[in-house]
Structure 1
Amino acid sequence: MNNYYNPVRTVQGPGCLKCLPQILQDMKLTHGRVLILGWDTKVFEYDVFSQLHSSNQSFHIQKAVFQESNPTVKHLFKIYKETKDFFPEAVVAIGGGSIMDVGKSLCCLYGKEISSEQALREFIQNKEIGSPKTKWVGIPTTSGTGSEVTCWATIWDPEKEAKRSIENPENYAYAALVDPEMTEGMPLKLAVSSALDAVAHGVESYWAKGTNAVSKALALQAVNRIMSNMEALLSGKAEGRDAMAQGSMMAGLAFSNTKTTACHSISYPLTMHYKIPHGAAVSMLLAPVFQMNASGTDGMPELLKALGVKDGEDLKERISSFLIRSGQPASLKGWGVKEEELPGLAELGMTKGRADNNPVEITAETINIILKSIY
C-alpha cells in the first residue's frame, strides 16, 4: 500500500507572483525576517518585492544572489556564512532548480553551528537534519525541476565525486508560486532541456517502485501536457510556457512521493564529469531505459499515449529532435564524452536511492550498454 502526501500550497498561472505578500503574511512570521534569494539582481526589480518594503508591511528583508549551477558543498557553505547571522524566518527562493536546492538547504542549516565545509559535508552525510527552523517559498523561473514542490535538495560534492541529498519531510515549501511569466526570456536550450527533465520526472514517477495511484495520474497528465506543447515552446508561444509551467509542477507533485529511477541515477556522473545540462543528460537516457523497463511497468499503453509515441524507438527520435532543434547535441559523443570512459561512468551511475528504485534491476554492466546506445 502506497500513500500520497504533499502539503505545498500551489498557486499557478500568469501573474500569480503578486500573491507573495499575502503568502508571507499568512506565514505569521514572528519578526518578519525574510531572505530573498535570487538567481540574479534582476529578480529584485519586480514590483512585488518593493511592496514588501512598504509602510503597511512588517517585513525585514535581506537580499542575496546565487548564480552557480549544480550547487556544491563549497557553494552552500559560502551562502550559509553570508546569511546565517540574519537568521531568516522565511526564505523566498526565486530561480531554477539550483536556487531551490540552496534555498531549501539553508532552511535546514539555520540555527546550527557549522564551522567549515568539512563540517557541512559531515552534517549532510550523517543525515543530522532535524526540524528546519526556517520555512521557504519557491518561485521557479524555469519549468522543469519541480523542486518547488519536493522536500529534498541535491548538493554536489565534486571533491569526493559524489552527489549528496538533503531531505526532510518537514522541509516541503510553505507555498509555491508557479508563474509562467517568470520564465520569459529563458534561452531555448534551457527551456527545452528543462521541459524534458520534467518529462523524465513524470515517466520515472510512473514506473518507480514506490509509485501510487495519485502520482501515476499526475505523471500522465504532466507528460501529456509537456509533450503535446513542445512545438509551441519551440515556437516561442506564451501558451507553450504556461503548459511547461503546469507540466513541470504536476511532474514535481508526482515524483515528490516516488523519487526518480535509473535515468536520473545514470545521468548524475554525466553532469558532474562532462557538464552536460541535467535535463539534456536525463532525457537522452529516457528512451533506452524506457525500453528496458517496459516489461516491468504496468499501464505502458497509457504512458505511450501520454508521450505521444508508439514505442521506445519513436521516443528516442522525438527527444533527439527536440534537443537538436534547440541547438544541443542528442548523443554522448556530441557532448564530448570519451568512449573509453563509458565503463567508469557506468560504475558511477549506480546511485543509491535511484538505481534501486527502478522497476527492473540494473547493474553497471546494464548501464554501460545503455550509455553505448546513446553514444
Structure 2
Amino acid sequence: MVQRMIWNQTAYFGAGAISVIPDELTRRGFTKAFVVTDAVLVETAVTTKVTALLDEAGIAFEVYQDVVPNPPIENVQAGVAAFRDSGADVLIAVGGGSPQDTCKAIGIVVANPEFADVRSLEGVADTTNPSVPIIAVPTTAGTASETTINYVITDTERGRKFVCVDPHDIPIMAVVDSEMMATAPRALKVATGLDALTHAIEGYVTQGAWELSDLFHLKAIQVIAGALRAAADGDPEAMDRMALAQYIAGMGYSNVGLGAVHAMAHPLGALFHAPHGVANGVLLAPVMAFNAEATGEKYRDIAAAFGVEGAATMELADARRAAVEAVASLTRDLGNPTTISGLGATAEDVPVLAQAAFDDVCAGGNPREASVEDFVELYASLLD
C-alpha cells in the first residue's frame, strides 16, 4: 500500500524562533507581507512581536486583524479582497487555529479564484494551484495548523462547520516559538492542549494510521501527558514541550485523519460557538470508551504513555479502561467542562448534532463505525 506524508518545507522551533522571519523573507525574495491575525492578539501586542521584526528589517507589511473565532466564510472573503488590494506577495499567519485556518483559506482562494464561494472547498478540494506562500506562526500549543493540510471554516448561513483538506494549503514555513504562546490565558492553554491531545489520540487510532504516523502520535501523547498540567499553569519549559508536541501530533494527523471526537466537536462549535478544544475535551474520554474494542493494543500504549503502572502486562480490557480514565482524569484536573450542557446544548439539539456529526468528514476515520443513532446516544450521555 502506498502511503503519503506532507510536511512544511522548513520549520523552526524554540523560544525566540521568530527572529528568523525577516531573513527568511528576504532570502526567499518576498517584498511585502500580509499578516493575518485577530484583534485580541493585536491589542495584547503578541502580533507586534512579529511586525516589529519586519519594521526593523524594513520589510513592508499590512495587518488583517478581523479574524474571529470559528471563522466564517465572510471572514475569508473579506481577507481575500484585502490581500488583493495590499499588493503583498506572502502571507504570515499569527495566531491560533482561527487565524491559521483563515490565512490558509485566503491563500487558496487567491491562488484558485474559482473557489471564491469558499463552500466548494469542503472535503478534498480539487484545487490546481498552490496557496500564496504562507509563513505560519502559532500562538497556541494545540491546533498544529502550521503543519497540516487541513483547515476548518464556519458556514453561519447553514449553521455548520466544514473541513477542507488540501495539500496545496500547507505553509511553506512554520515558526513554532513558545514565547509567542506564553501570554495566553490559562483557559486557552487548557483548551488548545486538549485539542493537541485529541489530535494525537485520534490520529493514533484512526483507520488511516500506520507505522510512521504512529511514531508521531505516540510521542505526542507521552509529552502532552507529562507537560500539559504544568504548561497550563505557565511553566516555560512545559510550554516549550507542549509547543513541540502539538506540532508532532500535527505531522501525523494531517496525513492520516481523525475520528468521531472531531466529527462531534465541529457542530458544537458551529451551533453554540463552543471553543474547539473545550468541546474536544468534553468528548475525548467518552468517545475513547465507545471506540475501545476497535483499537487493538493501542490503548495499552496510551495508558503506558500516561504513566499507568503495569500497563504493559495488565489484561487488555483493564488497559483500555486505564487509558480512558487517564484522559478523563487529566480533563477533570484541568477544569475543562465534562458535559455538552455546559456548552449550551440541550436534549432538543441532540438529533441535529448527531446528524451533523455523522455527515462530518472526520467521522469516516473513526476506528469503530458510528451510526446516527450512536451519535445520538453519545451526545445524550453527555447532558446534565
TM-score for both structures, normalised by structure 2:
0.88
Deviates more, 1:79-88 or 1:185-194: 79-88
Match of 2:359 among 317, 329, 351: 351
Q: Are 2:368 and 1:360 aligned? A: yes
Give the Cα separation in 2 of the matches to 1:223 and 1:91: 31
Q: How many residues align?
A: 367
- CA deviations 1:314-339 (Å, max 9, x no partner) are 55555555555555422122333212
Q: What does 1:144-163 align with in structure 2 at a 5 Å threshold?
A: 144-163=142-161
Tell me the residue number matched to 1:45: 48
Tell me the residue number matched to 1:97: 97
Match of 1:120 among 79, 98, 117: 117
- The percentage of aligned residue pairs carrying the same residue is 26
| Distance apart, 1:236 and its partner CA | 2.3
Q: What does 1:32-181 align with in structure 2 at a 5 Å threshold?
A: 32-39=31-38, 40-41=41-42, 42-46=45-49, 49-54=51-56, 59-111=59-111, 113=113, 120-124=117-121, 127=125, 129-181=127-179
Q: Are 2:20 and 1:19 aligned? A: yes
SS at 1:349's partner residue?
helix
| Distance apart, 1:61 and its partner CA | 1.6
Tell me the residue number matched to 1:286: 284
Amino acid at match of 1:335: L
How has the CA–CA distance of structure 1 residues 91 and 341 changed in structure 2, closer, same or farther, with 3 Å as cutoff? Answer: same
Amino acid at match of 2:7: P
Give the Cα separation in 1 of the matches to 2:164 and 2:205: 24
Does the CA contact (< 8 Å) of 1:2 and 1:210 recur in 2? no
Does the CA contact (< 8 Å) of 2:37 and 2:64 recur in 1? yes
Amino acid at match of 1:96: G
Q: Are 2:314 and 1:306 aligned? A: no
RMSD of aligned residue pairs (Cα, Å): 2.4
Give the Cα separation in 1 of the matches to 2:376 and 2:254: 28
- CA deviations 1:197-229 (Å, max 9, x no partner) are 111101111111111211111000001101111
Tell me the residue number matched to 2:314: none
Give the Cα separation in 2 of the matches to 1:60 and 1:236: 34
Does the CA contact (< 8 Å) of 1:73 and 1:121 recur in 2? yes
Give the Cα separation in 2 of the matches to 1:264 and 1:233: 23
Deviates more, 1:252-261 or 1:81-90: 81-90
Give the Cα separation in 1 of the matches to 2:248 and 2:12: 12
SS at 2:86's partner residue?
coil
| Distance apart, 1:91 and its partner CA | 0.5
- CA deviations 1:56-102 (Å, max 9, x no partner) are x5x43222213400101111112222222224321010100001001
- CA deviations 1:156-178 (Å, max 9, x no partner) are 10212332233321221111111
Give the Cα separation in 1 of the matches to 2:113 and 2:288: 45
Does the CA contact (< 8 Å) of 1:287 and 1:312 recur in 2? no
Does the CA contact (< 8 Å) of 2:354 and 2:379 recur in 1? yes
Amino acid at match of 1:45: T
> What residue ranges of structure 2 are gaps of 5+ in the alignment?
312-318
Give the Cα separation in 1 of the matches to 2:320 and 2:158: 35
Does the CA contact (< 8 Å) of 1:37 and 1:103 recur in 2? yes
| Distance apart, 1:355 and its partner CA | 1.0
Deviates more, 1:8-17 or 1:138-147: 8-17
| Distance apart, 1:297 and its partner CA | 1.8
